[in-house]
Amino acid sequence: TLADGTTPLHLAGAHDTPAVRDWVTFHCGAPLVGPAEAVLALGRWEALPLAELPIGTPEYPDRSATVIAELSQLSDEGPALRGPGIETTARLSLPETAFFEANHRLFPLGIDSFLTCGDRLAAVPRSTEIC
């Protein structure tokens, strides 16, 4: 499962409602936490407290957060990206470029992102470079 009793979860903005909290608690048992303790953060991109989420440490870069961000649009237009899993380059309509550029510069530290819009999903790990 994506979240369980060992996955501290931060709900941001409109995703932090009693109904969602109750559902997560009942079905997943994931502890609901503030952003600094989150392993997983869920919300609309603009509501996520990205600067407050853990980026890992040099000794334990895997102790960073992963975000699942809901967007208004997600398409294969936008900046060119490259990195592991991308044969040459791929284009993606990122919600902003500054965050992803700064996040890549932190590598191997940083935040991994899943971007969603309706039935569309894109993964942008911290190793992804905007070119």
The structure's pTM equals 0.94
Using the 8-state DSSP alphabet, how is residue 55 labeled? B
> Residue 1's pLDDT is what?
82
**38-62 per-position pLDDT tens digit:** 999 999 999 999 999 999 999 999 9
Contact 47, 15 (CB under 8 A): yes
Does residue 116 sit in helix, strand or coil?
A: strand
Average pLDDT over residues 94-106: 98
Check if the beta carbon of residue 53 is closer than 8 Å to that of residue 65: yes
- For the segment 96-123, the average pLDDT, to the nearest whole number, is 98
pLDDT greater than 90 at residue 18: yes
Q: Where is 40: in which H helix or E strand?
A: strand 40-44
Res. 83 pLDDT band, cuts 50 70 90: very high
Alpha-carbon gap, residue 122 to 113, rounded angstroms? 8
Answer yes or no: CATH 3.40.50.800 is held by domain 9-130.
no
DSSP 8-state assignment for residue 30: P
Alpha helices per DSSP H over the chain: 18-27, 98-105
Residue range 27-32: average pLDDT? 98
Cβ atoms 92, 122 nearer than 8 A: yes
Domain ranges of the chain: 9-130
